[in-house]
Amino acid sequence: MLPQEIMRRVREIQVRTGRTVADVLAGEYVSVFKGSSIEFDEVRPYTPGDDIRSIDWNVTARMGEPFVKRYVEERQLTLMLMADVSASQDFGSGARSKRECAAELCALLAFSAIRNDDKVGLLLFHGDIEQYIPARKGQRHALRVVREVLSHGDDEPREVSRTGGLRRWLAARTRGRLRVPRESTRIAKAVEFFLSVHKRKCVVFVVSDFIDDAFEQALHTANRKHDVVAVLVSDRRELEIDDIGLIALEDPETGARRVVDAGSRAFREAVARDGTARIEALRTRLASSGIDLIHIDAAGSVVDPLVRFFRAREKRTRR
């Protein structure tokens, strides 16, 4: 996208999601994600009735009289958005691509966090780490988060300059010796990077189509300390194909191509069966690690699945 087009899309999303945040998600986000960490505040003299387990023995020894530690509840949250910007995210058979859908989702979450005076950060990834924006407050910062999700993926790959020119880059690709990082997805690598830069607990939304392998253990490790929520963004053409005869398909992340007969009922049923099985298998594997999965159709509503998730999560916390 051109910069003007990106800004236009950002403003559209801001207007649309801003109204949604105010009308629908205002209370849902706050009721589910409440700051719950306990932070040290100060030490003060011991008074009768204080829990003796809160005595600070080091200060007590220095001062010659008992002092206790005082803690306060930290209400502010840090929301980290991890958005997949690999090549497969550019696919979209409807009005928007999976990446555009992810941008709108990130906008909803970012504006919800800012409305609650929380911090929000962004990590863009593919086969490598594309960009990391530390968590901050403010609407301008939230707009930057949305802009970055929208703008990545439209530029020439970085490897063009590293290989000494476009001609050599194209030659290397033709020979199969170069794989552009954005043409692959490595969720585990992104999670490892996140864990290296975030030591304090935060809420993490991993937004991807999860076309990857061997990432469950990384998410499981992250969820031990942080609150990890997986968001699967899919396109209906990944789950069903119309009867349109012979079509050519290409995998954007591997470059593999093949011609298939969409007129075959058996083929269409296999696509639907395999697509549904992949989603259910992902849900089951994540659930075993205590990770929720939100499934969003790129052509459908982003708000409805989020509201269902918030309400289901709130019911669980009340039990």
The tens place of each residue's pLDDT in the chain, 319 residues long, gives: 556 676 677 777 777 777 777 677 766 777 677 655 555 667 888 888 888 888 999 989 988 999 888 765 555 789 999 999 998 888 888 888 898 899 888 888 888 888 888 899 999 999 889 899 999 988 888 888 878 877 765 544 433 333 334 444 344 444 444 445 667 889 999 999 999 998 888 999 999 999 998 899 999 999 999 999 999 999 988 888 888 888 888 777 777 888 888 888 998 889 889 999 999 999 999 999 999 999 999 989 888 898 899 888 887 766 6
Q: What six digits make up the tokens of 46? A: 């011991």
Count of domains in the chain?
2
> If you search the block for the tokens 């007129």, which residue do you land on?
263
Euclidean distance between CA atoms 25 and 152, whole angstroms: 27
61/206 same-domain check: no
64/162 same-domain check: no
Cα atoms in the Cβ-side hemisphere of radius 13 Å centred on 306? 26
Q: Looking at the chain, which runs of residues are DSSP E strands? A: 37-45, 67-74, 78-84, 119-125, 129-136, 203-208, 227-234, 246-250, 257-261, 292-297
Last residue of a domain, one of 15, 47, 73: 73
125/30 same-domain check: yes
Burial pattern 148-162, b for ≥16 Cβ within 10 A else e, equals: bbbbbbeeebeebee
Angle at 1 (CA atoms; ends 189, 118), nearest 5 degrees = 55
181/197 same-domain check: yes
Query: How far apart, in Å, are the Cα atoms of 273 and each of 240, 266, 268?
Result: 9, 10, 9
> What does DSSP say about strands 67-74 and 227-234: parallel, antiparallel, or unpaired?
unpaired
Entry pTM: 0.76
230/292 same-domain check: yes
Q: What is the extent of the structural domain holding 290?
A: 3-35+77-318
51/22 same-domain check: no
Angle at 230 (CA atoms; ends 229, 233), nearest 5 degrees = 140
The answer to whether residues 91 and 108 touch, using CB atoms and an 8 Å cutoff, is: no
Q: CATH number of the domain at 268, please.
A: 3.40.50.410
Angle at 82 (CA atoms; ends 296, 313), nearest 5 degrees = 55
Q: What six digits make up the tokens of 27? A: 């209370």
186/169 same-domain check: yes
43/143 same-domain check: no
239/314 same-domain check: yes
